[in-house]
Structure 1
Amino acid sequence: MTTLFWKKRPRPLLLALALSVGVTGCARPYILEDLGMELTAGYDLTDNGKLLVTYSLPNIGAGEQEKTIIISSKGDLSKEARENVGLATDRQIVSGQLRVAVFSEHLARKGIWHVLDTLMRDVNITKTMVLCVSDGNAGDLMKSKAPTRPSSGRYLYELLQKSQKNYAVPKTTIQDFERIYYDQGADPMIPYVRLENGTIMAAGTALFRNDRFVGSLSPEETKMMLLLRGGGQGGDIKQTLHTKGQDNLQDQVMLTFVTAKRKAKLEMQNGRPHITYDVKVSGQIIEYSGDEDLTDDKIAQKIEKQIEDGLSTRIKDLIKQFQTKYHVDPLGLGTKIRAANLYPNDPWTYDLWRKSYESAKIDVNFKLRIIRTGITR
């Protein structure tokens, strides 16, 4: 009886041990020092149309002088280039630690979806991986020396994280790009960086129409755009005033947005969408180059009005560039138009989105309240 029971109902502990032995025997062992863990990947386009991929890999071996290994290879496809990288190193290339993908502007203008599609199909790559466009070659940017980190790849990742919190660049992951790319109502945008005097700098926003880079925004323009998207709280922005100081130069003011709220109203007017943004901001003046006494209420109100008018004009000019120069919809107004059902008798299509957005009338009402003018002692 005992033998029969054992055959039919094996004990759970012994079964688990048996399974663990089987699984362990099939697993592929990895030694940390033998791994080439991708931290940053850079993508360039060669003159003959091949993809040049550059990887930043940490050098984990004990006593190593170099903190990072930079290695490049070419291929018709990104996977082919990655395989060629593996042939040029004794490390086992793995992608689980990939944090940033950098695309050169030259490649981004041709389109980056074929590379992104491959990255998204890699189950080892996290969906929170950050994307950015480089003003120059991605490989040159990755080979630069980082001032405060052992590798340029790590420095770039930390720089983008900090700049996103300051609203100098947009916060966009590969998952965000994929979602917006498939949405017929918005265009993707990702951080824009450049190499300046040998140092990587956050340079604002790279604008995309579908998957192609079409232009860039400065950090200041990025902050204004993010205000309309519902962000911007904690960001700093500079505004030129109408007044002049003793040096006969126009006064400048630097403002920190303490709170920022915005509402968008949509309606149909004369056969085209009419969108009105109401943006309310409370801010603190942290620097002022003029000679006026900002503690005087009348003077403070005059400064408020100048800043309101100046930022309203700049934001309207920025929206006009989106509609007529770059033909992009980074604000996702197409999604708002569709949600408002402004075209009840027409099926929502890609062409209707583009046509309705570019013909839309967009107004911005900017209201500022200065709550503090800084602290003096």
Structure 2
Amino acid sequence: MKKAILCVILCFSLTASGCAADSRILEDLDMVQTTSYDLLPDGMLSITASIPMADPEASAKREVLTVVAENTKNGRIKMSRETQLILVSGQIRNALYGLSMAKKGIYRYMDTLIRDPSISPELKISIVEGNAGELLRKDYDQHPRTGKYIDHLLEKESSWQTIPRVTILSFLRDLFDDGIDPITPIIKDMGNSIRINGIALFQDDRYVAKIPADDTMIFAFLKGSFKEGEINVDLSENGDKKEYAMLSSLVSGRKLKVSYHNQQIKVRCEIKIMCSILEFLGDLEISNEQDRNKLERRISDKLTRKADSMIALLKQHKVDSLGLGSAVRNKIGYANWKKMNWREEFPHVEVENKIKVVIKDFGEVR
């Protein structure tokens, strides 16, 4: 009996001492949540890290460190000299890249993030329209922890399909796939808040253009199938009185049909959208079936035209951000694909968009 009691006491002592050791270790760590990178005019890097404060008695909610260095590794060494705690990256959620760096190419500056085994492949990548460090260092009155604010903003918007959820894993996957180009969300400092400002389009790892925030849902329709989301469709035409339809509970399905004949490639993108109408400002009576069908056709035509304009933008900048090349590669076979320079071929490919909208319910009447 005494031996049993002694064993229990010994086990408890070991467990308690283990917890205490872990507690002391945690108190010695600075766990980076968000980091930013900017390319300075002289070629040096400005690196900023936002670190939540674990001490509940601390007056500040976070610690912000900024250094200037030749490369990311040297920047980490310099940053560690400015804090009494040990910098660790295992909890990093977001990496922000300033527009100046994005235009030059961001892959080489991802080296530290890629090689660190403690960093999750789910780390989110975003572009800041402006200086990323200035945005991360800034305190927003209603959001005392800027890093957490950015993380929640990106998660919320991606869940509603207004922006893609881009991780370091998905970015690198698209970067090294010759049938698609990478994308990332764009965020911008608006003074008292941070706003999602569109989708960045990359040629390889260089930023070349963007999809404006008002058109990101069109990009989502073209990109693939999804559930959830909403979009406001402006149906006004040539100075007529304003007419809008607010669509919600979107369920979008995409089918790609590729034809290849005499070395001519044609891609047909068929998109079907099931939706509900939250609000409609116009002369049609949506409870009337004929008017509702007319409204469906008008919305379908408007979205198809916007999709055509988006394809023209992608062709102009020679970026296949939708992954049409992957479908073409599957159709024509790998041997024919390797003979083709898809970057140069893509602008000449005929892409036909066909969007069909079906209103499944409207207000209280179904």
Given the alignment, which residue of 159, 162, 182 partners 1:188?
A: 182
Q: Secondary structure at the match of 2:227?
A: coil
* 1:11 aligned residue: none
Note closer, same or farther for the CA distance 1:198–1:269 as it changes in structure 2 (3 Å cut): farther
Note closer, same or farther for the CA distance 1:347–1:204 as it changes in structure 2 (3 Å cut): closer
Given the alignment, which residue of 330, 333, 343 partners 1:354?
A: 343
Offset, 1:257: 4.6
Offset, 1:262: 1.5
| Kept in 2: contact 1:232–1:257 (CA 8 A) | no
Offset, 1:90: 1.1
* 2:9 aligned residue: none
Given the alignment of the two structures, is residue 297 of structure 1 paired with residue 286 of structure 2, yes or no? no
Equivalent positions of 1:143-158 (< 5 A) are: 143-146=137-140, 148-158=142-152
Taking only aligned residues, the RMSD between alpha carbons, in angstroms, comes to: 2.3
* 1:69 aligned residue: 63
* 1:81 aligned residue: 75
* 1:330 aligned residue: 321
* 2:3 aligned residue: none
Amino acid at match of 2:326: T
Offset, 1:285: 1.2
Given the alignment of the two structures, is residue 34 of structure 1 paired with residue 41 of structure 2, yes or no? no
What are the ranges of 5 or more consecutive residues in structure 1 without an aligned counterpart? Answer: 1-19
* 1:3 aligned residue: none
Given the alignment of the two structures, is residue 105 of structure 1 paired with residue 99 of structure 2, yes or no? yes
Question: Deviation above 6 Å: which 4+ runs of structure 1?
Answer: none
* 1:229 aligned residue: 223
Most deviating of 298-307 and 248-257: 248-257
Q: Secondary structure at the match of 2:198?
A: strand
Given the alignment, which residue of 114, 123, 129 partners 2:117?
A: 123
* 1:341 aligned residue: 332
CA distance in 2, matches of 1:100, 1:89: 21
* 1:364 aligned residue: 353
Offset, 1:216: 1.3
- Identity value in percent: 29
* 1:211 aligned residue: 205
Amino acid at match of 1:336: A
Most deviating of 329-338 and 254-263: 254-263
Deviations 1:35-92 (A, max 9, x none): 1111000101112110000000112234101010111001110111111111112121
Offset, 1:148: 4.8
Offset, 1:278: 1.1
- TM-score, normalised by the number of residues in structure 2: 0.89
Deviations 1:229-280 (A, max 9, x none): 22342211121224799xx622111112532111110012453210001111
Q: Secondary structure at the match of 1:81?
A: helix
Equivalent positions of 1:252-331 (< 5 A) are: 252-269=244-261, 271-324=263-316, 326-331=317-322
Note closer, same or farther for the CA distance 1:342–1:358 as it changes in structure 2 (3 Å cut): farther
Amino acid at match of 2:31: M
Note closer, same or farther for the CA distance 1:62–1:165 as it changes in structure 2 (3 Å cut): closer
Most deviating of 80-89 and 335-344: 335-344
| Kept in 2: contact 1:240–1:252 (CA 8 A) | yes
Most deviating of 137-146 and 177-186: 137-146
Deviations 1:90-147 (A, max 9, x none): 1211111111000001110011011112211011100000000000111111122245
CA distance in 2, matches of 1:66, 1:316: 50
Q: Secondary structure at the match of 1:340?
A: helix
CA distance in 1, matches of 2:337, 2:247: 44
Deviations 1:136-184 (A, max 9, x none): 1111111222455431001101110011011111111001111111111
Offset, 1:224: 1.2
CA distance in 2, matches of 1:335, 1:101: 28
| Kept in 2: contact 1:327–1:358 (CA 8 A) | yes
What are the ranges of 5 or more consecutive residues in structure 2 without an aligned counterpart? Answer: 1-13
CA distance in 2, matches of 1:104, 1:260: 33
Given the alignment of the two structures, is residue 92 of structure 1 paired with residue 86 of structure 2, yes or no? yes
Offset, 1:225: 1.5
Offset, 1:198: 2.7
| Kept in 2: contact 1:144–1:198 (CA 8 A) | no
Note closer, same or farther for the CA distance 1:276–1:202 as it changes in structure 2 (3 Å cut): same
Deviations 1:11-41 (A, max 9, x none): xxxxxxxxx9xxx9xx999632321111000
Q: Secondary structure at the match of 2:332?
A: coil
Offset, 1:342: 5.8
- TM-score, normalised by the number of residues in structure 1: 0.86
| Kept in 2: contact 1:100–1:132 (CA 8 A) | yes
Offset, 1:219: 3.1
CA distance in 2, matches of 1:372, 1:129: 38
